[in-house]
Amino acid sequence: MALASGVRFAPRALLRPWALLRGTTLGRTEPAAGGGGDGARRFGSQRVLVEPDAASGVAVMKLRNPSNALSLELLTELVISLEKLENDKTFRGIILTSDCPRVFCAGLDLTEICGRNPAHCAEYWKAMQELWLRMYLSSLVLVAAINGACPAGGCIIALSCDCRVLADNPKYRIGLNETLLGIIAPFWLKDTYVNTIGHRASEQALQLGSLFPPAEALQVGLVDQVVPEDQVQSTALSEMARWLAVPDHARQLTKNMMRKATADRLLRQRDADTQNFVSFVCRDSIQKSLQAYLEKLRQRKG
């Protein structure tokens, strides 16, 4: 971590050369609609579309998976896209949003941990840890433009950003609802919650598995702005401008000072956290409830 320079403190060595880029098209670039020069070239993959604007130094990153459930492929593609932008000194900020109607991110892809073997569950959880570490410690400004439902792991993705703008739609609820699924948020999800909304509010919300509608999310401090749906992107851009007005080195070192202890806690216990996760989700009782929950989701659709 090149802390002294204050420019890049995301722990590079974290990234593993996962051999799982099956079916991805990472690194492909294509001209943005309307053409344009380098500043308008977008790149991406099947599940993440990146629209970079070199002039402003801001890239819009759009998730485009079904329900944006965090599949192993989506997690990997997100990490790689993030790293690509971090390595390009043109960019200072990313707006993270969804290309999927009504859903920002449905959280963990439960099909990755339901009916899978322990080795797969471990690989999956390590990828989840990796994305959180990368986002939480990113040297770039990350603004979440939340244009849909944002439960559980989706909420964690949003909380890893520096700022959150939520569309004012009562269906777009946000929070950590794990307990309602019979599962327990691991300590680093809890820590991220506490760092954002404080201990008492987290204690209540975590035990109750609360999913907050926009006005309540704003009140409790889970999001920074609630705006009409058609103003989410423009408000995210205004927020970005506010954050980018601060000198990078001062903002980055301050961010690191605020977040490092939380990230270090996971780094110290990463293997134990993975083992906890695997032994927990592989229990017969948990597998049964995951199966039933997935079934309910599928039926609700019909």
Which sequence positions are flagged as catalytic? 108, 153, 177-178
* Nearest distance, CB of residue 114 and ligand LH6CIYWY, angstroms: 8
CA angle 135, 88, 20 (to 5 degrees): 55
* Nearest distance, CB of residue 73 and ligand LH6CIYWY, angstroms: 13
Decide: helix, strand or coil at residue 225: strand
Name which of 44 and 186 has its Cβ closer to ligand LH6CIYWY: 186
**DSSP per residue over 97-118, as a string?**
EE-STTBS---B-GGGTSS--H
Name which of 49 and 189 has its Cβ closer to ligand LH6CIYWY: 189
* Nearest distance, CB of residue 293 and ligand LH6CIYWY, angstroms: 7
Name which of 52 and 209 has its Cβ closer to ligand LH6CIYWY: 209
Decide: helix, strand or coil at residue 165: strand
* Nearest distance, CB of residue 211 and ligand LH6CIYWY, angstroms: 9
Using Cβ positions, the residue closest to ligand LH6CIYWY within the complex turns out to be 107
Nearest CA-CA partner of 187 in 257, 114, 269 = 269
Binding site for ligand LH6CIYWY (CB under 6 A): 66-67, 69, 102-103, 106-111, 149, 151-153, 177-178, 181, 183-186, 276-277, 280-281, 297-298, 300-301
Contacts of 156 (CB under 8 A, 6+ apart): 107, 132, 176, 189, 192
Distance, CA of 286 to CA of 183 (rounded, Å)? 8
